[in-house]
Amino acid sequence: MKKILIATDFSENATAAAKFGLDLSGMLHANALLINSYANFPIAMIYGGGSWVVDEYLIKKNHSESRLELIAEDLESMAGNLNETIFAPEISCRAVEGEIGVNVAEICADEKIELVVIGARASNHSLFGSDINSVIDRSTRPVLVIPAGTELKKIRKVVFTTDFCAEDIQALKYLGKLGEILKFKIDVIHVNEYNTKHDVEHAGKISFEKELASFKTTGLSFHQIAGKNVIRRLAGLSRKNDNILLAMVHQQHSLFLRLFENSTAKNLLASQNIPMMVFPSKMI
């Protein structure tokens, strides 16, 4: 059976994301897998006849497992109170050693993961923080980054930014199926950062619009925005409509990287508390 993978570091934002992931599991009729990655110590150092580094490793492992069990118990209690018409997901948890991005990639390869949910944690040096960026870089399933306070039932529109690549069509097909279940509309936006009108872009637009026209998804619209202050305009959508989710494909030299390469864009997006779904370019 498919699962929602919920990654947690036991922070307040991660706990909020876990609750969001539970609601999503119920709506998608999927079970929930809660994971935490703890640091590993490959070399044991001997001190006074004892291996104190190994002792610290075991403490971290036990701490991870006990904290996961507490969160799982809370989620199981919430699952029991879900509406009778909503699927009550089974909650499992797993403490995993090592780096979070690597662990998520391995779990996605071994399990039927529908998508990955993780709590937002802004940083001045990167859009989400090193842990979340590592997950986004390595995941083969969509990654949903959730700020504290985000409620699933309040998301009524997904704003998907495109530069007409083939991966965008695949991501939109996924969003279309998700939208039918969660009842949200999809606003597809082409971001023209430099207000150019190259023939290649025009040809890409024509092909892209033909693909969109073949979709059977209801509530899907497409338009373009141009200019240098794209992030401010996208953030403005949140101020006008506080129940949106921003979505895009992440790949090398992609729109994702170009839009969020400067600290102003990162900080502005973080201040808006906009949830974001990032699709890997090579999605399984």
Angstrom distance (rounded) from CA 74 to CA 269 = 31
Q: Give 98-155 pLDDT, tens digit per residue.
A: 899 999 999 999 999 999 999 986 554 445 667 888 898 899 999 999 887 788 878 8
- Is 254's pLDDT higher than 60? no
Length of the chain: 284
pLDDT for the residue 3: 96
List pLDDT tens digits, range 258-284.
555 555 545 555 555 778 899 987 786
Which of 155, 154, 173 has its CA nearest to residue 249? Answer: 173
- Which strands make up the sheet holding 113-119, listed edge to edge? 91-97, 31-38, 3-7, 113-119, 143-146, 276-280, 244-250, 157-162, 185-192, 220-226
pTM: 0.83
Residue-level pLDDT at 194: 59
Mean pLDDT, to the nearest integer, of 197-222?
A: 76
Count of Cβ atoms closer than 10 Å to residue 189 Cβ: 20
Buried b (16+ CB within 10 A) or exposed e, 102-141: ebbbebbeebebbbbbbbbbbbeebbbbebbbbbbebbeb
Q: Is residue 188 classed as helix, strand or coil in its secondary structure? A: strand
